[in-house]
Amino acid sequence: MAGVHVVTDSSSDLSRDDLDQLDVEVVPLTIRFGSEELTDGQDLTVGAFYRRMARSDQLPQTACPSPGAFHQAFDRAVRGGADAVVCLVISSDLSNTLQSARTAADALDGQVPVHVIDSRSVSSGLGTLVLEAARAAGRGADLDSVVGRVRSLVPRTQVFAALNTLENLKKGGRIGGARAMLGSLLAVKPLIDLSGGAVHEAGKPRTRTRALAMLYEKLQEAGPIEHLAVMHGGAPDIDEFLDLIAPRFPRGSFRLGELGPVIGAHGGAEIIGVSWVASTEGPRPEGAA
């Protein structure tokens, strides 16, 4: 494991194949149903989470990993021969995970450089940053190059999501800049903008069909983009959305994945989200991602 080792948290919603192929370690958050605590990805699969949330009277809550959990991940990298560690975590506006990771990094006492980065993103937006960092590390890039690659992507990473309800965000205290929508809580299928790492209102469509159309409009308005990802939390209409965007973004031209318990706990069930990186190049062919 010589070279730069990449660590992230479970809100990155990366598939097991991606993690194994690129040798990325995930430090899990905790999901709470009442007094019961479950470790994301270990005690609770994505499908089991959404089934449990559907039948639970209490909305689930999340807790960030302890500094000790990050310390163990960093220590494994050191013992495995890593020259440096880059740790990318969920936006500090949404979780205290960043502080836990920094506390753990400080406790390593300089055994190897550990660079903790606030992704200012979440889910597939964070996942894209992690994948790009790991790919750079896999090509032999040094610490400065890996960090520089991530820093160049953070301000260009956009994340939007169509929710079925704001109830989870409201009760979980993550409503942020979307607070103005609360007055019409039951009358809309809200669109939120998570770009920059905080929750902001992006639209108040009154139907799910219109919400998905507006989500596609955000993609169309973005101009040349890279690293498109589409994520969903058990959404029954995901195929309808994929058909909707197919003229410009055919299936297979982007990353498709599941929204895990961390995002589901705060956004509710049946979310469909998209993330991308604004391209610094000229126009790209339709369907490129």
Place of tokens 């929204």: 259
Q: What are the angstrom distances between the C-alpha of 181 and each of 60, 169, 176, 187, 269?
A: 22, 11, 11, 10, 19
What local confidence, expressed as pLDDT, does residue 281 receive?
62
Confidence (pTM)? 0.91
What local confidence, expressed as pLDDT, does residue 72 receive?
97
One digit per residue, pLDDT tens: the chain, 289 residues? 689 999 999 999 999 999 999 999 999 999 999 999 999 999 989 999 999 998 988 889 999 999 999 999 999 999 999 999 999 999 999 999 999 999 999 998 778 999 999 999 999 999 999 999 999 999 999 999 999 999 999 999 999 999 987 676 655 444 454 444 444 455 688 899 999 999 898 998 999 999 999 999 999 999 999 999 999 999 999 999 999 999 999 999 999 999 999 999 988 899 999 999 999 864 443 333 3
Annotated domain spans of the chain: 4-154, 156-278
What local confidence, expressed as pLDDT, does residue 171 receive?
57
Q: For the domain made up of 156-278, give the CATH fold.
A: Hypothetical Protein Tm841; Chain: A;domain 3 (3.30.1180)
Report yes or no: 5 and 85 within 8 Å, Cβ to Cβ: yes
What local confidence, expressed as pLDDT, does residue 182 receive?
47
What local confidence, expressed as pLDDT, does residue 102 receive?
98
Neighbouring residues of 138: CB distance < 8 A, sequence distance ≥ 6: 22, 23
What local confidence, expressed as pLDDT, does residue 275 receive?
98
Coil, strand, or helix at residue 233? coil
Q: For the domain made up of 4-154, give the CATH fold.
A: Rossmann fold (3.40.50)
Residue 232, beta-bridge partner list: 258, 272
